[in-house]
Each structure stands twice: as C-alpha cells, then as structure tokens.
Amino acid sequence: MRRRAATGNIVSQGGEGAPHNLLPMQPRREGRICFRLVELKKQYLRTIQAQQLCMARSNTVALLMEKMLAWSGRLTPDELRVQKQKLAMLHLQQQQLTLQQKSLMCQLAQLQSRQHELMFELHRLIINQQDILHAEMAPVSHINAFQL
C-alpha cells in the first residue's frame, strides 16, 4: 500500500521515497517564459492604451490652443492677461503631454526588446528540447558510426 506524504512525494511501505511526478525542467522553463510573454503583452496593451489616451488629450489641447490663437477681437487688458495665462497653461500641458508620449514610446521600445529576448530564449529552449528528443530517439548504430 502506498500513501502520500505531506511533501508531495509518494512513500511506499518500505519507507523509501520516490519523487512525485515533477515536470521536467525544460517545460517548466517554457511555462515561465510563456507566462512572462503573456504579462508582457498585457503591459504592452496597457501602454498602447495610455499612449492613445495621451494623444487624444494632446489633440484636444492643440485644438483649444488653435482656437484661442485664431480668435480676433478686442479685450480689456485684464481679459488679455487672463487669455495669455490660459494660453500659457495650454502650452505647458502640451509640452507635458509631448514628454509623456516620448516616455511611452521609449517604454514600448523596451517592452518590444524584452519580448524579442523572451521569444529568442523560448525558441532556444524548444530547439534544445528537440535536439534532446532526437538524440534519445537516434538508433545506437548511428551513434557508433560517429565515434570512429
């Protein structure tokens, strides 16, 4: 009769421990890389969404600035001062949004670079796993032929 120990190992009546069905190292590493790729994709989509929101705000601010600059008419000195302050604030917002867009573009480039690294690592693991499978399946006569 066999029973399961609290550690997850199967223990037979004789007391010797046999390792529980653990995944081989390669598939676990592949799983971790695939999980990282999924998380990276989610982060990439969030960054794209933030970039689109930033661009929409930037377009709105640009339209307001254009509207204010295209206006022609008479203003009292106090109204003119207020108008200039509003225009300066819009210009500052436009600069901040431009900096945010640049930052998001850099972040997207970093995410793409990280995705490329992970894809390369996953490809390397799959190739190594295929090489191991081919080596295990190779007939013994072929192996001896290479050892001449």
The domain tally of the chain equals: 1
**Which domain covers residue 32, as residue numbers?**
23-136
Per-position b or e across 116-142, b if 16+ CB within 10 A of its CB: eebeebbeebeeebeeeeeeeeeeeee
Residue 78 lies inside a defined structural domain of this protein:
yes
Residue 89 lies inside a defined structural domain of this protein:
yes
CATH number, domain at 31?
1.10.287
Residue 122 lies inside a defined structural domain of this protein:
yes
Residue 90 lies inside a defined structural domain of this protein:
yes
pLDDT for the residue 4: 57
User: What are the 10-residue block averages of pLDDT along the chain, 148 residues in total?
Assistant: 54 48 61 89 95 96 90 85 93 96 96 93 84 66 50
Element (H, E) at 108: helix 77-137
pLDDT for the residue 43: 95
Residue 108 lies inside a defined structural domain of this protein:
yes
Residue 127 lies inside a defined structural domain of this protein:
yes
Against a cut of 0.85, is the pTM above it?
Answer: no
Residue 39 lies inside a defined structural domain of this protein:
yes
Residue 42 lies inside a defined structural domain of this protein:
yes
